Copies of this chain bind each other. A is one copy, B any other.
Amino acid sequence: MKNTASSPAEKQFGLAPGTVVYTGDKTSGDLYIEVFDYSEDFFEEKELNSIEEAFKYSDSEPITWINVNGLNHTEAIEKIGEHYDLHPLILEDIANTDQRPKIDEYEKYLFVVLKMLYFDKDEKLCIEHISFVLGNTYVISFQESDGDVFDSIRNRIRLGKGRVRSMGSDYLLYALMDAAVDNYFNLIEAMGDKIEELEDNLFEEKPNDDITYDIQSLKREVLKIRRAVFPLREVVNRIEKSEHHLITEKTQFYLRDLYDHIIQVSENIEIYREMTWGLMDMYMTTISNKMNEVMKVLTIMASIFIPLTFLAGIYGMNFENIPELKFKYGYHILWGIMIAVFIGLLYYFKRKKWL
């Protein structure tokens, strides 16, 4: 919880608006820039280490995708801002990893922020910050570090599969966003598995506070996922509805479909939310069931042996005149009585269904 809220407060506090400060954790990576330049019958792919080289591609006619990895290199971001005449607040948002998903429409470009979500190998939820600038002939994407969900799009561009090569930069933006959203379905599935696993633990393990803690953590993760995904509905809806000249009618069909997918993800998240919120109650009943069982064992043992011990105590008394003690079969008769009491109580508990 801490670092999502703390970073901007710590790192940005007191700075003038529009100052470009990277607020994330990945501060050591190199700057790594990919360029894809393509049209229906042309394709070129480059890896660059300085941002200036990329400018020449995007200014010329064919569609160009510039993928910038390494938000810690704020000077590169500033250079891009200068070259493409981006508003200072946009540059701030590109580097501010706490920025929520949003869309800003400007005269000459659109700016979109969204989140990539995945569980790392320790089952910890990771939230990565991506932003896109859509211009007339280019899309620039900004990521915290390399390693992403866009490989299928790279391949489609390389091989000319699908529609991407024959459509404009707005379709490329759609395709990139679609890849990110498609990946949410993996996350959703992993989430579902986590919930089921926890449910099984509730029943199987003996009561312990770890489970309580795990439920609380799960709630937190669901809430974080919601926060990362839900604003995207509004974002995609606004792009689709916007009458910005950069968004063509043909692409709007695809955006509507994307919107649909986000709604679907959102519905799944809401279901997981309900299920997760129910887990604590569920856990309470399993604890209570277990306590019930413990109590029953105690009650049965005590209810049977305390009266019998009393009977034994009676004939352990030292009164001079206890007639029964002198009976020849007194001891055996008492055993008989005790066994009768024992069986009677067993039968009583049986009938109460405690056994």
Which residues of A line the B interface, CB within 8 A? 1-2, 4-6, 8-9, 12-19, 87, 89, 92-93, 98-100, 102, 104, 151-152, 156, 161-164, 174-175, 178-179, 182-183, 185-186, 188-189, 192-193, 195-196, 199, 203, 206-209, 212-213, 215-216, 219-220, 223-224, 227, 253-254, 256-257, 260, 263-264, 267-268, 271, 274-275, 277-278, 280-299, 301-303, 305-310, 312-322, 324-331, 334, 353-354
Contacts and interface: CB of A to CB of B under 8 A. Distances in A.
Contact of A320 (B227, B263, B326): B326
Contact of A260 (B100, B175, B274, B308): B100
Given A212-B282, A320-B326, A330-B321, A14 B302 contact: no
Contacts of A195: 1
B192 A289 contact: no
Q: Which 8 A-B pairs have the closest CB atoms?
A: A16-B162, A312-B313, A14-B152, A9-B185, A298-B299, A315-B317, A319-B331, A301-B303
A39 B11 CA distance: 29
Contact of A182 (B14, B102, B189): B14
B312 A317 contact: yes
Contact of A284 (B5, B18, B188, B288): B288
A288 B291 contact: yes
A308 B317 CA distance: 12
Instruction: Give the copy number.
Output: 5
Contacts of A329: 321
Nearest to A6: B189
B206 A353 contact: yes
A235 to B, nearest CB: 12
B317 A100 contact: no
Nearest to A178: B17
16 contacts: A2-B193, A16-B152, A92-B257, A100-B267, A208-B289, A209-B286, A209-B289, A216-B275, A223-B274, A283-B285, A284-B285, A301-B307, A302-B302, A312-B316, A315-B318, A319-B325
A335 to B, nearest CB: 8
A290 B292 contact: yes
Contacts of A178: 17
Contacts of A189: 2, 5-6, 9
A216 to B, nearest CB: 6
Contacts of A13: 152, 182-183, 185-186
B313 A322 contact: no
A297 B297 contact: no
Nearest to A287: B288
* Residue among A14, A162, A283, A354 with the highest chain B CB neighbour number at 10 A: A14
A185 to B, nearest CB: 4
B325 A320 contact: yes
B264 A98 contact: yes
A79 B209 CA distance: 58
Nearest to A100: B264
Given A14-B152, A274-B219, A292-B207, A305 B298 contact: no
